[in-house]
Amino acid sequence: MITTLSIKNYALIEKLSIDFSKGFSIITGETGAGKSIILGALGLVLGKRADLTSLKNKEEKCIIEAHFEISKYNLKPFFEANDLDYEDDTIIRREILPSGKSRAFINDSPANLQELQELSLYLIDIHSQQQTQELSDENVQFKIIDAIANNTDTIVTYQGVLKQYKSEKTKLNMLLKKQAESYKEQEYNQFLLTELLDAKLKSGDQEILEADFEKLNNVEIIKESLDKSLAITSVESVGILSNLNEVKSALQKIVSFSPEYQVLQERVMSVLIEMDDISNELNDSAENLISDPAQLELINQKLQLIYNLQKKHQVATVDELIEIQNQLDNSVLELGNLGEDIEILKVSILAKAADLDVFATTILTNRQIAIPILSDKLISILATLGMPNVRFDIKVTPTANYFENGKDELQFLFAANKGTDFGLLKKVASGGEMSRIMLSVKAILGQYSKLPTLIFDEIDTGVSGEIAIRMGEIMKEMSQTMQIFAITHLPQIAAKGNAHFKVFKSTVGEDTQSALVLLTAEERVVEIAQMLSGAVVSDSALIHAKALLN
């Protein structure tokens, strides 16, 4: 439960610190006095977003701090899961800086808004008039039934399987789409692959073929050049070899006269050996050179095939063509693997669907058991709230669809009086009836939930007199097991509280401020008398106020 709330520099509040007790607390005040400001500040602590308009003084930061006694609510796992320090007296602090930035702390550990929001689900339920209208929403109605049906854990498990089921369904649809597209491309890809395979490409082929083509295509020029070179080298009387031999002989005669002649003679010998080798190779090349038009044509065809493939695939080398061939080969194999993956997914989806059906059946069975309990309890409580002839027609119908909370559709119909037809809550229930129904729902859920604190924000809309007294009694009964706050304009409800707080607005100089104070017994009598008769308190109003309090 919440034990302390401190507010500094928020809206019309300059500084405020108030302690709360367990049981049933009342908050009253004139319209516009600042009750919504208190709830707004509490909302910031619970993770709602804030902006600079929240600051009373734009030059200073806003600080809101709330203390919660949580020792009885088994929240240690939440703190461990979020790497937060656990304390029985947990302190949540929210700071809004003049720059507009916001910071949050749980027991002095930095926290984000999501963590605050998740923790708040275990701490406080603030019931507003908007929430009363949400009673007509099917999801809210399901939550009420499921709380009584004790379906929470089953639904959480169901949602985990449903998430996997949807994920696999999405993946399956993607694979099926890819498979359909692949089938369209497969024939063409297979054609391209066959074309490349038939070419029997090898790395380096193009360079060898181009060299052979140039040789065969220019055989006459090559032969003429080789013959001429051979003649210059080897002609008997005037060839290079003949002349080198003469030089060698001439130097041989003088090598003994000086070392330098010896060196020259050795160099000539080296050139002679090299030229002799060149002459032999020229001779071999000339003898091996043949004109082969058929081979030239074959080489030309092979090169043209390579050039055409390179142009088609927009590449420049045989190695790139081989890479494309490998990719096409893999894509054809991938299509086969795609089919296997699809079949595996289908089997998994069917298995998860079977699991979902089992969970959905359990959820449905529990709901069918809970509905009569909910209906009977609502009728019993509402009878004491001036609706003795109220009837409910609540039915769940299984469908083939997987919803977030099972496979059921809900029909939640209501009739307030005898002889009237059933209708949807939002269409046939008045504002006062909706308030009483919601209070009844909260009273019933209080028997099943472990929520420590519940705040009713003007749930008494549209009721008065004896009905208001009974509503106050119901809230007081609820406060036996949880901390209850009621923000009310009705003295009948205000008189039922264990503690009574008043919100009021005052002017300090040129400044308007809101404050929240705990009323003494005497102040409480006056406050309730004012709620009965207005600002001018009559003796009869005071007597009536004391009677209500007693």
Inter-CA distances, 407 with 142, 313, 325, Å: 12, 53, 51
Inter-CA distances, 335 with 189, 327, 346, 536, Å: 11, 12, 17, 87
Residues 78, 80, 82, CA angle at the centre, nearest 5°? 70
Return the axis-axis angle of helices 138-149 and 318-384, rounded to nearest 10°: 70
Give the model's pLDDT for residue 57: 84
- CA dist 92 and 133 (Å) reads 30
List, in order of start, the domains of the chain with CATH numbers: 1-123+451-519 (3.40.50.300), 179-336 (no CATH)
Inter-CA distances, 45 with 34, 50, 68, 111, 116, Å: 17, 10, 11, 11, 7
- CA dist 300 and 294 (Å) reads 10
Give the model's pLDDT for residue 409: 94
236 residue type, one letter: E
Inter-CA distances, 112 with 75, 92, 101, 163, 530, Å: 18, 11, 12, 25, 43
Inter-CA distances, 61 with 14, 111, 365, 413, Å: 11, 18, 53, 50
Give the model's pLDDT for residue 331: 67
* Whole-prediction pTM: 0.67
At 37 the three-state DSSP class reads helix
H or E element that contains 319: helix 318-384
Give the model's pLDDT for residue 345: 92
Contacts of 38 (CB under 8 A, 6+ apart): 5, 7, 27, 503, 516
Do 429 and 437 meet the contact criterion of CB atoms below 8 Å apart?
Answer: yes
Do 241 and 279 meet the contact criterion of CB atoms below 8 Å apart?
Answer: yes
Half-sphere exposure of 92 (CA within 13 A, CB side): 27
Query: 294: buried, middle or exposed (CB in 10 Å: 19+, 13-18, 0-12)?
Result: exposed
* Radius of gyration over every alpha carbon of the chain, rounded to an integer in angstroms: 48
242 residue type, one letter: S
pLDDT per residue, tens digit, the chain (550 aa), is 999 999 999 988 889 999 999 999 999 988 877 888 888 899 999 988 887 777 888 888 999 999 999 988 888 999 999 899 999 999 999 999 888 888 999 999 999 999 999 999 889 988 877 777 788 889 989 999 999 999 989 999 999 999 999 999 999 999 888 877 777 666 677 777 788 778 888 888 778 777 777 766 667 777 777 777 777 777 766 678 778 887 788 878 888 888 888 888 889 888 888 888 888 888 877 776 666 677 677 777 787 878 888 888 888 888 888 888 887 777 655 666 777 888 999 999 999 999 999 999 999 999 999 999 999 999 999 999 989 999 999 999 999 999 999 999 999 999 988 888 899 887 888 888 888 998 999 999 888 877 789 999 888 877 878 899 999 999 999 999 899 999 999 999 999 999 999 998 888 777 888 889 999 999 999 999 999 888 788 889 899 999 988 8
Query: 370: buried, middle or exposed (CB in 10 Å: 19+, 13-18, 0-12)?
Result: buried
